[in-house]
């Protein structure tokens, strides 16, 4: 796995995170509604999507895990015979079904990933049924990494990783074209330095 990163100085703050569904509207400081539910939380900005090719990487990983579990089930059937109680068979079968459903949702799951560069932060979202939205303020970024495993490298893709002062708030933006990941990394470093300098 290759890894190219830019480390930044930071303060001990965390990224902000919300989960679930967007409210119908948000109130401005004056008390009047400032954004409708359709524009929340981007303020009308368009979500930037990751490469559709990333779905193949996601699908391949899910199928590899499913094949490994299926191989385990076959091994139990061959070597266990009549001496193995029913629970292992049931558990492995359930795992295979879950992994199969997860694989079928790979393309929909990738379409749900997006990001927006706002004035003061990077907004990142993912999730189908339960949407996760994370806001990473530029001034709190400590490290921006571009990483590529063998599968992503073969597809010409990369993952952009952000680390804030709190390790628990690290964010990964997968499925970006390599050129886009490098451009976004450089832009985020520039914005972080500008915020830290008070510009």
Mean pLDDT of the residues in the chain: 76
Spell out the residues 6+ positions from residue 71 whose beta carbon is closer than 8 angstroms to its own: none
State the pTM of this model: 0.67
pLDDT in tens, 16-57: 544 443 333 333 333 333 444 445 566 667 889 999 999 999
Token code pair at residue 81: 């015979």
Predicted pLDDT at 146? 93
Look at residue 8 in the predicted model and tell me its pLDDT.
59
Of the listed ranges 1-5, 62-66, 103-107, 178-182, the one predicted with least confidence? 1-5
The reply to whether omega before 41 is within 30° of 0 (cis) is yes
Helix axes 54-80, 86-104, angle to 10 degrees: 170
pLDDT band at 148 (very low <50, low <70, confident <90, very high): very high
User: What dihedral do alpha carbons 160, 162, 168, 174 form, nearest 10°?
Assistant: -20
């Amino acid at each position: 796995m290759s890894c190219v990163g830019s480390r930044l100085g930071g303060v001990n703050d965390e990224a902000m995170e919300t989960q679930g569904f967007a409210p119908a509207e948000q109130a401005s400081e004056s008390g009047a509604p400032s954004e409708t539910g359709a524009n929340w939380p981007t303020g009308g900005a368009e979500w930037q999507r990751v490469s559709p090719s990333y779905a193949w990487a996601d699908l391949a990983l899910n199928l590899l895990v499913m094949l490994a579990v299926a191989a385990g089930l076959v091994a139990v059937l061959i070597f266990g015979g009549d001496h193995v109680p029913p629970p292992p068979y049931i558990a492995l079968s359930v795992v295979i079904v879950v992994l199969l459903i997860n694989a079928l949702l790979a393309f929909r799951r990738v379409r749900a990933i997006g990001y927006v560069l706002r004035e003061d932060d990077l907004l990142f979202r993912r999730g189908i049924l339960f949407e996760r939205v994370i806001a990473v303020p530029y001034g709190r970024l400590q490290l921006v990494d571009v990483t590529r495993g063998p599968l992503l490298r073969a597809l010409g893709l990369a993952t952009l990783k952000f680390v804030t002062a709190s390790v628990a708030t690290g964010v990964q933006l997968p499925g970006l074209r390599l050129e886009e990941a490098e451009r976004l990394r450089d832009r985020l470093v520039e914005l972080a330095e500008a915020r830290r300098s008070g510009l």
